Structure 1
Amino acid sequence: MVVKNILNLRFVAPKTKSALKSVLFLSTLFLLGACADKPETAAPENYSVKNNIITLTENSTIKSRLVIASPTEELVNIDLVVNGFVKAIPSQYAQIAPPFAGRITQSYIKLGQKVNVGTPIFSLSSSDYYAAQQDYLANVQELKNAEINLKRQQDLFDNAVGVKRELEEAQTDYSIKKLAVDNATASLRVYNVNPATMKMGEALVITSPIAGTVISNDLILGQYIKEDSEPLVTVAELNKVWVAAQVKEKDLAILNDLDEVELTSEAYSNLPFTGKVVNIGQVVNEETRSVEILIEVDNTKNSLKPGMYVSVKLKDTGKQTLVVPAKAVFQQNDSQFVYVQVGPDQFKKQNVTTFSTEDANKTAILEGLNATDKIITDGGIYLLQAK
Structure 2
Amino acid sequence: MKHSYLALVIASVLSATVLVGCDNKEDAAAGENAQQQMPPAVVNVQTVSFDTVPQVQTFSGRTAAYQTADVRPQVSGVIDEVLFREGSNVKKGQPLYRINTDNYTTSVASGQAAVAQAQANRQTAIANNANAKAELASRQASLAQAINDFQRLKGLVEIDAISKQQYDQAQTQVRTAQAALESARAAVGQTEASIRSAEAGIKTAQSNLDASALDLNRTIVRAPLTGRSDRSSVTAGTLVNASQSEPLVTISRLDPIYVDISQSSSELLQLRQQIAEGKAQAGMNSVELVLEDGSVYPVRGKLALSEAKVDQSTGAVTLRAIFPNPNNVLLPGMYVSARLTQSVIPNAALVPQSAVMRTPKGDSQVYIVDENNQIQVRPVTINGTYDGQWVVTDGLSSGDKLVVIGGSKVKPEQEVVVKPLENANGASATPTAKTPQQAAKTVADDTSEQDTATTTN
* 2:186 aligned with 1:171: no
- Equivalent AA in structure 1 for residue 225 of structure 2: I
Bigger RCO (CA 8 Å, 6+ sep): 2
How far off its partner does 1:238 sit? 1.8
Tell me, what secondary structure is at the counterpart of 1:238? strand
Q: List aligned pairs for 1:322-337, cutoff 5 A.
A: none
Query: Residues 90-126 of structure 1, C-alpha deviation per residue, up to 9 Å, x if partnerless?
Result: 2xx3322222332221122112433333322121126
Measured in 1, the distance between the counterparts of 2:345 and 2:132 equals: 85
Per-residue CA shift, 1:246-291, capped at 9, x if unaligned?
A: 3344517589642411122204634454211223334443444443
Q: Which amino acid aligns with 2:76?
A: A
- What TM-score does the superposition give when structure 1 sets the normalisation length? 0.51
Gaps of 5+ in 1: 1-72, 194-203, 323-355, 365-387
Tell me the secondary structure at the aligned position of residue 230 of structure 1: coil
Q: Alpha-carbon deviation of 1:363?
A: 12
Shift of 1:297: 0.8
How far apart in 2 are the matches of 1:232 and 1:295? 30
Query: Which among 76, 82, 98 is matched to residue 59 of structure 2?
Result: 82
Q: Is 1:116 aligned to residue 91 of structure 2?
A: yes
Tell me the distance in 2 between the aligned counterparts of 1:231 and 1:101.
13
2:450 is aligned to: none
Answer whether contact 2:95 2:223 (CA < 8 A) is retained: yes
**Distance in 2 (alpha carbons) for counterparts of 1:303 and 1:294:** 18
Contact 2:126–2:191 under 8 Å retained in 1: no
Q: In structure 2, what residue type is equivalent to 1:105?
A: D
Counterpart secondary structure, 2:230: strand
> Distance between the aligned counterparts of 2:75 and 2:263, measured in 1?
43
> 2:64 touches 2:259 (CA, 8 Å); kept in 1?
yes
2:232 aligned to which of 217, 220, 238: 217
Instruction: List per-residue Cα deviations over 1:120-177 (Å, max 9, x = no partner).
Output: 2121126774676467446534543454356446656776565225424542553365
Q: 1:235 to 1:286 in 2, by over 3 A?
A: closer
Q: 1:287 to 1:229 in 2, by over 3 A?
A: closer
User: Letter of the aligned partner of 2:188 in structure 1?
Assistant: V
Unpaired segments of 5 or more residues in structure 2?
1-49, 137-183, 276-280, 349-381, 386-390, 394-457
CA distance in 2, matches of 1:157, 1:293: 77
Calculate percent identity across the aligned residue pairs. 22
Q: 1:237 aligns with which of 253, 259, 275?
A: 253
Deviations 1:3-46 (A, max 9, x none): xxxxxxxxxxxxxxxxxxxxxxxxxxxxxxxxxxxxxxxxxxxx
SS in 1 for 2:311: coil
1:310 aligns with 2:336: yes
Which residue number in structure 2 is paired with residue 148 of structure 1?
A: 123
3-state SS of 1:94 partner: strand
SS at 1:295 equivalent: strand
Aligned ranges 1:338-353 → 2 under 5 Å: none
Cα displacement (A) at 1:84: 1.9
| Residues 158, 310 of structure 1: alpha-carbon distance in 2 compared, 3 angstrom cutoff | farther
8 Å CA contact retained: 1:100, 1:128: no
Q: What's the offset of the Cα at 1:233? A: 2.3
Determine helix, strand or coil for the equivalent of 1:148: helix
In 2, Cα distance between equivalents of 1:281 and 1:260? 17
Structure 2 partner of 1:46: none
Determine the structure 1 residue equivalent to 2:284: 258
Q: In structure 2, what is the Cα distance between the partners aligned to 1:245 and 1:134?
A: 56
Task: Tell me, yes or no, if structure 1 residue 247 matches structure 2 residue 271.
Answer: no
Q: Structure 1 residues 248, 137: closer, same or farther in 2, change over 3 A?
A: farther
CA contact (8 A) 2:104 2:215 kept: no
What is the number of equivalent residue pairs in this alignment? 246
Partner SS state of residue 295, structure 2: strand
* CA distance in structure 2 between the partners assigned to 1:190 and 1:87 by the alignment: 34
C-alpha change, 1:166 and 1:280, in structure 2 (3 Å) is farther
State the Cα distance separating 1:304 from its structure 2 match.
0.6
Bigger Cα displacement from structure 2, 229-238 vs 150-159: 150-159
Within 2, Cα distance between the matches of 1:264 and 1:86? 12
Residues 118, 191 of structure 1: alpha-carbon distance in 2 compared, 3 angstrom cutoff: farther
Structure with the larger helix share: 2
Alignment equivalent of 1:125, drawn from 78, 82, 100: 100
Alignment of 1:351-366 (within 5 A): 357-358=383-384
What does residue 153 of structure 2 align with?
none
Do the aligned partners of residues 259 and 319 (structure 1) sit closer, same or farther apart at CA in structure 2, a change above 3 Å counting? farther
In structure 2, what residue type is equivalent to 1:230?
Answer: E
Equivalent residues in 2 for 1:279-298 (5 A)? 279-298=305-324
Query: Is the CA contact (8 Å cut-off) linking 1:281 and 1:293 kept in structure 2?
Result: yes
Q: Match for residue 210 of structure 2?
A: 185
